Amino acid sequence: MSTFQAPKGTYDLIPPNSATYLAVREAISVPLRNSGYGYIETPGFENVELFARGVGESTDIVTKEMYAFETKGGDKLALRPEGTASVLRAALEANLHKGGNLPVKLWYSGSYYRYERPQKGRYRHFSQVGAEAIGAEDPALDAELIILAHQAYRSLGLRDFRILLNSLGDKECRPVYRAALQDFLRGLQLDEDTRRRIEINPLRVLDDKREAVQEQLIGAPMLRDYLCEACKTYHEQVRELLTAAGVAFEDDPKLVRGLDYYTRTTFEFVHDGLGSQSAVGGGGRYDGLSEMIGGPVLPSVGWALGVDRTVLALEAEGITLDIPAATAVYAVPLGEEARRVLFGKVTELRRAGVATDFAYGGKGLKNAMKSANRSGARLALVAGERDLAEGVVQLKDLASGEQTPIALDAVVDEVRRALG
C-alpha cells in the first residue's frame, strides 16, 4: 500500500464502479444535448470575490465551507464550491449573450469542493452535472429544465424521487416579505450567528436544519402570502406547464435552497431512500446574479444534479445499470510468432470499432484464459504455431466454450458476425 491516501472527505473513482458514474453523467447529459444545450468547462478555481458576491457572503458555503487561498502572486482564489457563478462568469467574459440568440443554453460536468463534515452522501469533493439557460425570463424555460432533469432520472430507472417547488418572489415583492420575516425572527431565542443572518439574509434561517430552530419557526410568515401578482402568475404558469407534461411536483413553501442568488422559481429533487442527505439535485431562477457579478441584466435559470447522490439513489432502489463490458474480444497468443500476428489483429479490430484487449506479459494459456474471462469479453481469439501454419486463429465463445477456426484474413468480419 502507498504511504499516501486520498484526503479526508474525498474518494477515488476506480473501475468497475467508475463505469456507473460515467453512465449517470451520460444519462443526465443526453436530454440536455437533445434540447439545445452546449457543453462548457470552467477552471476548478476562481476569484474568491465571484463566489462571495454570487453565492452570498452570509451563506455557509462562503463563510464556512469554501476552500480559499492566496497564490504566490497575491491573487485570492477559491476552489469552486458550485457551478452556476463560474458558468455565468465565463458566458459574460465570452460575450455569449451578445450573439443574438437568447437564451444561451449551457451544460457542464465536473468536481466541486466544500469543506464539510464528511458523511455518506456528503463529501468535500463531489461531482455534479449542471445546466444553465442564460438571458431569458420565460416560465417555459423553468419548466423545461425541471422536465429534462425528471427525464434523466426516469431514464436511469429511478422512481422514488420527488420534486419540491416554490417561488421566492422578485425584487418587487421579496423586500416586503423580508421585512416581515425579520420582525418575526428578531423575537425568537436564537444564537449570535443566526441573529447576524437575520440581518443579512433572513430567508436562510428558514433553511436551518436544527430542530430547536425549526420549532420556533412555526407560525413564521410565508413568502407565498407576499408574492406580487406578476410572481404569482409566473409561478402558476410553471406549475401548469409541469402538470401538462405529466411531471408531478409538491408545493413546498419553506423551500429556499442554500444560495443567495435565487429569485422566483426554486426547486429540489429529493430521494426518500437517502436519509438525511435526501437532496439529489436542485436549482432555480437567478435573475439578479449577472448584475451581482458586474454584468448586464440577464434573467436566467439552472440546476445542478449530484452524480454521487444519484448513484446512492440507484443503490437505494436496488437498480443496477446495464453497462456493456469494456472488452468484447480478448486475444491470447501462444508463442512469439502468434504474439506478433495477433497483436496486429487486435489493432485491426480496434480500428474497426471492436473493443479488444490482449494477453500481455507472456502468460501461459491457463492464466491468459482466466484473464479473458475476468475481462468480461464474449469472445477469445487464440492462436499457436499450428494455427498460423494453417492460416487460421481459433474463435472461442467464452460463455459456451465453443471454438471455431476462422481464416486469418477474415478475422474482423468473422468477429463482427459473432458479436451480432
Nearest to 147 by CA among 240, 217, 38: 240
Cα–chain center distance at 293: 24
Look up residue 402 and give its amino acid.
Answer: E
Pair 346, 63: CB distance under 8 Å: no
Separation of alpha carbons 177 and 183, rounded Å = 10
Checking if the pLDDT of 346 tops 80, the result is yes
Average pLDDT, the chain: 91
CATH 3.30.930.10, the chain: domain bounds: 17-173+227-316
Residue pair 285/261 in contact (Cβ under 8 Å)? The answer is no
Q: Is the pLDDT of residue 260 over 70?
A: no
Using DSSP, state whether 362 is helix, strand or coil: coil
Longest distance between any two alpha carbons in the chain, whole Å = 93
| Nearest to 276, CA basis, from 55, 116, 113 | 116
Q: Which of 112-121, 217-226, 332-341 has the lowest mean pLDDT?
A: 112-121
Length of the chain equals 420
pLDDT digits 0-9 by tens, 88-109: 999 999 999 998 889 999 999 9
Cell numbers representing residue 144 in the block: 423545461
> What is the band of 273 on the pLDDT scale with cuts at 50, 70, 90?
confident
Q: Would you say residue 141 has pLDDT above 80?
A: yes
Any idea which residue has 454570487 for its cell? Answer: 54
The residue type found at 398 is L
Residue 174 is predicted with a pLDDT of 84
Is the Cβ–Cβ distance between 124 and 7 less than 8 Å?
yes
Least confident of 254-258, 272-276, 353-357, 360-364: 254-258
Q: pTM for the whole thing?
A: 0.89
**Domain at 17-173+227-316: CATH architecture:** 2-Layer Sandwich (3.30)
Average pLDDT rounded to a whole number, residues 78-92: 95
Given a cut of 90, whether residue 134 has pLDDT beyond it is: yes
Amino acid occupying residue 140 = A
Q: Does 61 score more than 80 pLDDT?
A: no
Helices (H), 156-261: 174-186, 192-200, 203-206, 211-216, 229-244
pLDDT-based confidence at residue 58 (cuts at 50, 70, 90): low
Q: Which is it for strands 379-383 and 279-285: parallel, antiparallel or unpaired?
A: unpaired
Confidence at 19, pLDDT banded by 50, 70, 90: very high
Q: Who has greater pLDDT, 210 or 406? A: 406
Q: Is the dihedral of CA 16, 21, 22, 28 positive or negative?
A: positive
Angle (CA) 179 229 133, round 5°: 90
Check residue 321 and give its pLDDT: 95
Residue 343 reports pLDDT greater than 90? yes
Q: Say how far apart CA 325 and CA 328 lie, in whole Å.
A: 7
**Helix or strand holding residue 382 (H, E):** strand 379-383
d(CA 151, CA 286): 23
pLDDT in tens, 206-257: 877 788 888 888 888 888 889 999 999 999 999 999 999 999 999 998 887 6
Task: Report which of residues 213 and 331 the model is more confident about.
Answer: 331
pLDDT at residue 14 above 90?
Answer: yes
What band does 35 get if pLDDT is binned at 50, 70 and 90? very high
Residue 57: its pLDDT value, please?
A: 66
pLDDT top residue among 381 and 420: 381
Per mean pLDDT, which range of 49-58, 148-157, 309-318 is the poorest?
49-58
Separation in Å, CA 147 to CA 42, 142, 217, 255, 386? 25, 9, 32, 19, 61
Query: What counts of helices (H) and strands (E) characterise the chain?
Result: 16, 16
Tell me what percent of the residues of the chain surpass a pLDDT of 90: 69
What pLDDT shows up at residue 397? 95
Asked if the 329-419 domain carries CATH number 3.40.50.720, the reply is no
